[in-house]
Amino acid sequence: MDTTAGGASSALGPRPESHGGAPPGRRAEQRTPASLVATGGPAREGTTDVRGNVGGKAMSRLDLTRRLVAQLTHGEIVVAGIGNANFDLYAAGPRPENFYMLGSMSLAVPIALGVALAQRSRKVFAIEGDGSLLMNLGALATVAMVAPDNLTVIVWDNGAYQITGGQAAATAEATDLVAVARGAGIAQSGWARDEAEFERLVRDSLTGHGPRFIGARVNREPGAGRPERDPVLVKDRFMRGIGAKPAQPGSG
Amino acid sequence: MSDWPGTMIKCLTERGVRLVTYVPDKVLIPLIDGFQGHPGVTAFSATREEEAVGIAAGATLGGMPSAVLMQSSGFGNTPNALASLIVPYQLPVVLVISERGVLGEFNAVQVPIARVIRPALDALGIPHVTLEREDDVEFLVTRSVHQAHRTQQPAALILSPRLTGGKMEG
């Protein structure tokens, strides 16, 4: 079957060239000792940080989320991780195809992988924060192994555990998550250095083959919205929104 | 000749299970091989058990009934995924747990977690049955999975060494 580990990647044939990001091995020279508390974002303006962001700026997570949602016109699914990822997804405008995680730090990528396998005809996006992704890097290896054609992982990287007080994450000075994703086997992995590049990478995800991984450096604005904290309601709306249950309760 | 794996695979697939993800275990080999060779099932490994639970949750949300296979020690990696995802969102994921740490265990580090499984499942409100006899497998698996799917609740199936032979030293 084409969805098992071996078959899926071979069915896709040679993977398209990867885009963006720092070449492997580049970051060692750029590193400085990690500070205990991250301040001012993961990269200093005008420097090359571990992401290969030459003069890169920290973008607005909410603005990028809106730019993503604006491109979703065919019932694409979005699974947003705990905290600011789903706060901003909700703030960008509730959609029935959004799944809001109320807990389960680190599981946005696995959940999105499962949804992608169940809903092969829809594109699926997982949105995760850097701290959450760091908790379960193995999930990237599983995504690469299963190689779902319809899955894109987006990470908002602000180098910190923002929601718990801004403690420095390994991404602040050391870890390049795009390089991690590429090393895990997701060949189509790249940093979005600005809003236009982010929009282009999203567009590529919508038109091309997956799996893909998009990293975006973001600032530390607090998440703008709050989805209703009712897990069964979230599930029900989502499943009906994607046709996994009848559209109206009691209609099927 | 006991064919508990064949019976389990038949019962789970007849109840609609189409995605199986697992962290491998020796006792689970015939189940893993059977699911991987099944034309109607997508089966693959995850790097850790809570990730496997997350994948099964996602597939279930997408309309694809799912099961997770793990060893009892791996169950120890799952509680947050069960408590914050499977249980409150009411997702009928089937957990298949092969039991180490009982009935002839040779490795002391396998024993404590075996004592945790049932109290933890009880505390989480996840119904569980222990499969000990081949002639009970069909009834217990079919009824447990049916109830899970109809009531939108997870279910746990614990595979006792009395059924599987377990893993012996050597």
Q: Which of B50, B55, B68, B150 to mutate to test the interface with A (most CBs of A within 10 A)?
A: B55
Residue A91 confidence (pLDDT): 97
Of the candidates A103, A113, A118, the beta carbon closest to that of B85 is on A103
What's the pLDDT band for B97 if we cut at 50, 70, 90? very high
State the residue for tokens 């600032």: A219
Q: In this complex, which of A5, A79, A243 lies closest to B44 when CB atoms are compared? A: A5
Query: Across residues A35-53, what is the average pLDDT?
Result: 44
Residue of A nearest to B59 (CA): A114
Q: What pLDDT was estimated at residue A74?
A: 97
Please determine, for residue A48, whether its predicted confidence score (pLDDT) is greater than 80: no
The average pLDDT across A193-222 equals 96
Which residue from B minimizes the CA distance to A126? B58
| Band of pLDDT at residue A56, cut at 50, 70 and 90 | low
pLDDT of residue A249: 65
Between A133 and A48, name the one with better pLDDT.
A133
Which of B22, B89, B91, B150 to substitute to test the interface with A, most A CBs within 10 Å? B89
Q: What average pLDDT does range A61-72 have in this prediction?
A: 98
Closest Cα of chain A to B110: distance in Å?
Answer: 24
CB contact under 8 Å between B57 and A114, yes or no, is: yes
**What pLDDT, on the 0 to 100 scale, is given for residue A49?**
53
Of A103, A114, A139, which has the smallest distance from its Cβ to B19's Cβ? A114
B interface with A, Cβ–Cβ < 8 A, is 19, 36, 39, 41-48, 50-64, 66, 80-81, 84-85, 88-91
d(CA A66, CA A228): 19
Higher pLDDT, A162 or A13: A162
> What pLDDT, on a 0 to 100 scale, did the predictor assign at position A46?
42
What is the residue-wise DSSP string for chain A? -TTSHHHHHHHH-SPPPP-SSPPTT-HHHH--PPPSB--S-SS-TTS--TT--TT--PBPHHHHHHHHHHT--S--EEEE-TTHHHHHHHHT---TTEEE-SS-TT-HHHHHHHHHHH-TTS-EEEEEEHHHHHHTTHHHHHHHHH--TTEEEEEEE-SEEGGGT-EEPGGGTT--HHHHHHHHT--EEEEE-SHHHHHHHHHHHHHS-S-EEEEEEB--PPP-------HHHHHHHHHHHTTSS-SSTT--
Subunit contact B62:A119, Cβ cutoff 8 A: yes
Find, in chain B, the residue whose alpha carbon is nearest to that of A119: B62
Tell me the average pLDDT across B17-41. Answer: 98
Task: Assess whether pLDDT exceeds 90 at residue A5.
Answer: no
What is the average pLDDT across A127-146? 98
Are B93 and B85 contacting, i.e. CB atoms less than 8 angstroms apart?
no
B17 CA to chain A: closest CA distance, Å?
A: 12
- Give the confidence band of A20 by pLDDT, cuts at 50, 70, 90: very low
The residues pairing with B95 across neighbouring beta strands, listed in sequence order, are B68, B156
pLDDT at site B65: 98
Those residues with Cβ within 8 angstroms of residue B47's Cβ, 6 or more apart along the chain or in another chain: A138, A139, A141, A142, B23
Query: In chain A, what residues touch B66 (CB-CB under 8 Å)?
Result: 114
Contact A114 B66 (CB under 8 A): yes
Q: Contact B62/A242, CB-based, under 8 Å?
A: yes
Q: Do A142 and B89 touch (CB under 8 A)?
A: no
Higher pLDDT, A58 or A26: A58
Say how far apart CA A124 and CA A140 lie, in whole Å. Answer: 15
pLDDT digits (tens, 9 = 90+) for B75-91: 999 999 999 999 999 99
Q: Is pLDDT of B165 > 50?
A: yes
- What pLDDT score was predicted for residue B146? 98
Chain A closest-CA separation from residue B132 CA (Å): 31
Rounded to the nearest angstrom, the minimum Cα separation between B43 and chain A is 6
Looking at residue A35, its amino acid is: S
The pLDDT value given to residue A251 = 54
Given CB atoms, is A232 within the 8 Å cutoff of chain B?
yes
pLDDT over 90 (residue A53) = no
Q: Global pTM?
A: 0.89
Mean pLDDT of B141-153: 98
CB-CB contact of B113 with B75 (8 Å): yes
